[in-house]
């Protein structure tokens, strides 16, 4: 048997799992072994007073919705896949 044959991976959502998480902010950190991605949904402050406070302090506290820790080889594969998808979308716009 050839050990180099690829295995098909079939993804599914667990019962009761949230269908998706929206994120408009991501923080990336890395060490020699892994890459950490922290995703958050940054929304405008609801009141003028809170907006003024954010502007004066120049910081806003936002909860992390999803945190993923990826081994370096998986992070590299993700980077390649993302770049490929971005290039496809850019080509469609032309």
The alpha carbon torsion through 62, 66, 67, 69 (nearest 10 deg) reads -160
What pLDDT was estimated at residue 85?
95
Which residue bears the tokens 């992070």? 75
Identify the pLDDT of residue 55: 92
Does this model's pTM top 0.85?
A: no
What is the reported pLDDT for 64?
94
Cα separation, 91 vs 43, in Å, equals 31
Q: Between the CA of residue 40 and those of 7, 20, 32, 63, 79, what are the distances in Å?
A: 33, 13, 24, 6, 19
What is the reported pLDDT for 11?
83
Q: Kindly state the DSSP code that residue 13 receives in the 8-state scheme.
A: P
Q: Where are the domains of the chain?
A: 25-93
pLDDT along the chain (94 residues), means of 10: 78 81 93 96 91 93 94 96 95 86
Strand intervals (E) in 2-94: 25-30, 34-40, 66-71
- 25-30 and 66-71: which strand pairing? unpaired
Closest residue by Cα to residue 9 from 77, 84, 71, 94: 77
């Amino acid at each position: 048997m050839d050990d180099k044959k690829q295995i098909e991976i079939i993804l599914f959502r667990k019962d009761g799992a949230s269908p998706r998480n929206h994120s408009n902010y991501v923080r990336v950190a890395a060490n020699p072994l892994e890459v950490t991605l922290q995703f958050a949904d940054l929304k405008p402050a609801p009141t003028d007073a809170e907006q003024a406070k954010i502007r004066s302090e120049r910081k806003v506290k936002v909860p992390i919705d999803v945190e993923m820790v990826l081994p370096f080889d998986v992070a590299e594969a993700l980077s390649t896949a993302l770049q490929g998808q971005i290039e496809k979308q850019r080509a469609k716009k032309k």
